[in-house]
Amino acid sequence: MDITGGEQVGDAVASCASALRPAVDRDWEGVAAGGLEWSCRRTAEHIAGDLIAYAGQLAGRVRDRYAPFEIVLDGPAGGPDAAGNADVLEVIETTGALLTAAARTAPRSARAFHPYPFRSADRVGFAAMGVAEVLLHTHDIAEGLGLPYEAPAPLAEFVLTRIFPHVQPGPDHWRTLLWATGRGELPGRAPVTEWRWSNNLVLPAGRLTLEGVTPAAAADLAADGDGGFAWAEGGPFEGTREAAGMTAKAYQEGVHRPEFGLFVLVRAEDDRAIGGMGFHGAPDEDGRAEIGYDLTESARGHGYATEALRALAAWALARQDVTSLFATVDRDNAPSRGVVERAGFRRVSEEGEDGAQFAYELRS
C-alpha cells in the first residue's frame, strides 16, 4: 500500500490544474466558488495556502500549534505585479510539490499539530487533508465557472479511507466525498450540514505508542499486507489481522468509530510494530466495551502488552461514555491472564464449557 501519500498529492494538483487551466482568462475574482462565500480567486489562493501550511507543519514537526504560514500573491502597491490566474495555478503546483516532498521525506512516525479531533496528524494524514482541499475546492471553483469536473475516484477513496473513517462508503467514491462535505446528495442519506475529517488517534504508552488504524490500513492488514507499518520479526500475528478484518467490516457497514477500533503497538526505540490492541466495538448502552490484544512472538515477555493495556484502559475509562472494560482470556493462557491482572482487571466469572475462559473487568 502507499506509505506516504505524496503521490496522491501530486495527482490531485495535476487534476486541479488540468480542470482550471482552460479558464485562466476568465474573471475569477467576480465569481463565487460554488456554494462558498469566497470568490474563485480567493478559493484558489486558499488551496495554495493550505498546501504550504500542511507542508510546513509536517516538515517542522510543530506539535502544539499551527505554524504561521501565509501566501501573499498580490504584493503591496509599487511591488511585484499582481499574480494572474495562470500564476495562481503555478503557485498551487509549487506548493503541492512542497507537500509531496514533505510527505515523502518525513519519517513514518512523524506527527505534527492539527486540531481535529485528536490534536495531531501523520504524513499520510497531512497528505490526505491536502488532497481533500485540492479536490473539493477545485470542484467549488469549477462549479462557479461553469466547468465540468470529476475528481479521480482513487483520490476520493484515498481521502475517505484515511480521514473520513466514520463515513460509510458509497457506490461512488467521489459522490460520497461530496456528500460527506455538504456538497451533494446520496440516495438514502440525509444531507450533511456540518462536517469534519478525522485523523487517527495516537496514544503514548511508556516504551510504545498506540497508533489508531485507518480503514485503509485495516483493509491492507486483513489482506495480508503490513498496513504501512514496519513489523518486528513474526508480525503481524493472526489476532491483529483478524481485528483488522473486523475494523474493515465495521467501516464498510457504516458502524466504525475510529477511537474504538484497532491500534497497532509501535516500539518507540526502533519504530517497529509489535502487536495489536483495541476494542471489539463501541461501548454498549451501559458503557461497557470489550478489549483484546496480541503480540508478535518475538516481543513477548517484555511487559509491552501490560504497558499498552494500562494506557488504553486509562484513556477509555476517562471518557464519559465508558463505564467499564472487559476481556475474555482462555483459562490455560497464563501469560495473557497475567497481562490483564497486572493492568488492574479483576476476574469476575468463568465462561465456556467447563469454565474454559475467564472473564475480567475493569471499572472506572
Vertex 12, ends 22 and 143: CA angle to 5°?
50
For residues 58 and 249, what is the distance between their CA atoms, to the nearest angstrom? 31
Predicted pLDDT at 41: 95
Predicted pLDDT at 70: 76
Predicted pLDDT at 73: 77
Give percent of the chain above pLDDT 90.
88
Q: Decide if pLDDT at 1 tops 60.
A: no
DSSP-H helix ranges across the chain: 6-20, 40-60, 85-105, 123-145, 153-163, 173-180, 215-222, 238-253, 304-317, 334-342
Which residues, in sequence order, are CB contacts of 303 under 8 Å at separation 6+?
none
pLDDT tens by residue, 223-265: 999 999 999 999 899 999 999 999 999 999 999 999 999 999 9
* Owner of C-alpha cell 518507540: 268
Vertex 158, ends 156 and 163: CA angle to 5°?
100
Predicted pLDDT at 38: 96
User: Prior bond to 117 cis, omega within 30?
Assistant: yes
Predicted pLDDT at 351: 79
pLDDT tens by residue, 114-136: 988 889 999 999 999 999 999 99
Backbone angles phi and psi of 327, in degrees to 5: -140, 145
Q: Decide if pLDDT at 45 tops 90.
A: yes
Q: What is the mean pLDDT of the chain?
A: 93
Predicted pLDDT at 364: 85
Q: What pairing do the DSSP bridges indicate for beta strands 202-205 and 111-112?
A: unpaired
Predicted pLDDT at 75: 60
Predicted pLDDT at 79: 55
Predicted pLDDT at 353: 67
For residues 255 and 199, what is the distance between their CA atoms, to the nearest angstrom? 17
Q: Comparing C-alpha atoms, which of 280, 314, 310, 277 is closest to residue 295?
A: 277
Region 56-84: mean pLDDT is: 77
* Owner of C-alpha cell 466514520: 166
